[in-house]
């Protein structure tokens, strides 16, 4: 994929906001929406794939997201994976913080994201794609890959907008190992909307407004030493989210690799549930 083709696809996604909200149904792309202060969201996200010359695997994360304030959301991830014929293992943790830069709702809403990762080389959660991450990185046996320690700092600039019922988001990613290695870059972009903008007054499960559909594009952009799209992986993924009347949300997303370095197919799925005003409830 050339630089020109890449930016043409990103421009197409961004231009979709001109077509006739809430947090999008994405797995990789972040919107500017923050967790409500005092609320705790418990979620699982999983990715399943079979890389070329590798074994089928399931990488999963348990997420605990808390709204500390209106401008600060913090989140803990616990990662693990299971690979066919190699067993299952815990691969580490991540601590994420997102900061709303400008209060209120604007045409473009910036959010700063900072994350510390303490994982090993067997991690297959695939929460983002940076540098030349590809399917070849997913083929090492667990007993070898787990010996590689990865302590990294990841930062993102998140830009989000709501336009006529559409949610659009762009993420620019930079990641750095705390001890060595170059700066690694990546991106994610997505657009989504609910099937209906007006909610019914009665409680229902299959109402159109309970479903969100979207499309996201994400991939790597090399390093500061070799910036660009050569030998990088990119994925295009439709997404679907269904929010039940109880507040539970279920998501699914088939992802399709666009380059030779990409896995041919990724299946992502997840479930989340929000506990409102956790600390206040505990004090009663």
- In this prediction, residue 3 carries a pLDDT of 40
| Distance, CA of 224 to CA of 183 (rounded, Å) | 6
33, 111 in Cβ contact below 8 A? no
3-state secondary structure of 69: coil
| Distance, CA of 134 to CA of 220 (rounded, Å) | 9
| Distance, CA of 142 to CA of 103 (rounded, Å) | 45
- In this prediction, residue 242 carries a pLDDT of 97
Q: What is the reported pTM?
A: 0.89
113, 156 in Cβ contact below 8 A? yes
Q: Smallest Cα–Cα separation from 167: which of 23, 11, 29? A: 23
Print burial letters for 14-34: b (CB count within 10 Å at least 16), e (below 16): bebbeeebebbbbbbbbbbbb
Burial class (CB in 10 A: 0-12, 13-18, 19+), 99: middle
Q: Cα Rg for the chain, rounded, in angstroms?
A: 19
- In this prediction, residue 19 carries a pLDDT of 34
Which residues sit opposite 82 in a β-bridge? 58, 88
- In this prediction, residue 20 carries a pLDDT of 32
Where along the chain do its domains lie? 3-278
- In this prediction, residue 218 carries a pLDDT of 99
DSSP H stretches of helix in 124-245: 142-145
- In this prediction, residue 18 carries a pLDDT of 34
| Distance, CA of 268 to CA of 219 (rounded, Å) | 16
98, 158 in Cβ contact below 8 A? yes
> What's the average pLDDT block by block, 10 residues per block, for the chain (284 residues)?
44 38 81 96 98 96 97 98 98 98 94 98 98 96 96 98 95 95 96 89 84 98 95 98 93 98 98 86 48
> Residue 220 region, left (φ>0) first, then alpha (ψ -120 to 50), else beta?
beta
- In this prediction, residue 8 carries a pLDDT of 47
CA 50 to chain CA mean position, Å: 20
| CA within 13 Å, CB half, 67 | 19
- In this prediction, residue 177 carries a pLDDT of 96
> Residue 22 region, left (φ>0) first, then alpha (ψ -120 to 50), else beta?
left
- In this prediction, residue 10 carries a pLDDT of 40
Positive/negative CA dihedral, 235, 113, 47, 121? positive
- In this prediction, residue 23 carries a pLDDT of 66
Q: Provide CATH code, domain 3-278.
A: 2.40.160.40
194, 153 in Cβ contact below 8 A? no
| Distance, CA of 199 to CA of 235 (rounded, Å) | 33
């Amino acid at each position: 994929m050339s630089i020109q083709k890449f930016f043409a696809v990103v421009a197409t996604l961004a231009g979709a906001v001109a077509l006739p909200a809430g947090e999008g149904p994405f797995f990789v792309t972040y919107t500017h929406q923050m967790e409500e202060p005092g609320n705790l969201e418990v979620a699982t996200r999983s990715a399943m794939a079979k890389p070329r010359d590798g074994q089928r695997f399931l990488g999963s994360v348990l997420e605990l997201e808390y709204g500390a304030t209106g401008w600060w959301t913090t989140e803990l991830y616990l990662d693990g994976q299971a690979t066919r014929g190699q067993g299952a293992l815990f691969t580490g943790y991540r601590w994420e913080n997102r900061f709303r830069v400008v209060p209120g709702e604007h045409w473009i809403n910036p959010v700063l994201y900072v994350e510390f990762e303490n994982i090993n080389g067997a991690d297959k959660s695939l929460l983002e794609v940076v540098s030349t991450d590809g399917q070849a990185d997913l083929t090492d046996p667990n007993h070898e890959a787990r010996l590689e320690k990865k302590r990294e700092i990841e930062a993102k600039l998140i830009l989000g907008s709501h336009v006529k019922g559409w949610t659009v988001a762009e993420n620019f990613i930079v990641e750095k190992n705390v001890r060595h290695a170059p700066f690694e870059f990546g991106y994610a972009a997505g657009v989504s909307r609910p099937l209906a903008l007006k909610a019914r007054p009665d409680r229902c499960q299959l109402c159109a407004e309970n479903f969100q559909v979207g499309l996201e594009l994400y991939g790597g952009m090399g390093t500061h030493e070799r910036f660009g799209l050569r030998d990088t992986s990119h994925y295009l993924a439709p997404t679907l989210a269904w929010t039940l009347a109880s507040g539970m949300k279920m998501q699914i997303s088939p992802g399709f690799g666009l380059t030779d370095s990409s896995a041919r197919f990724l299946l992502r799925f997840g479930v989340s549930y929000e506990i409102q005003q956790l600390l206040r409830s505990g004090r009663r």
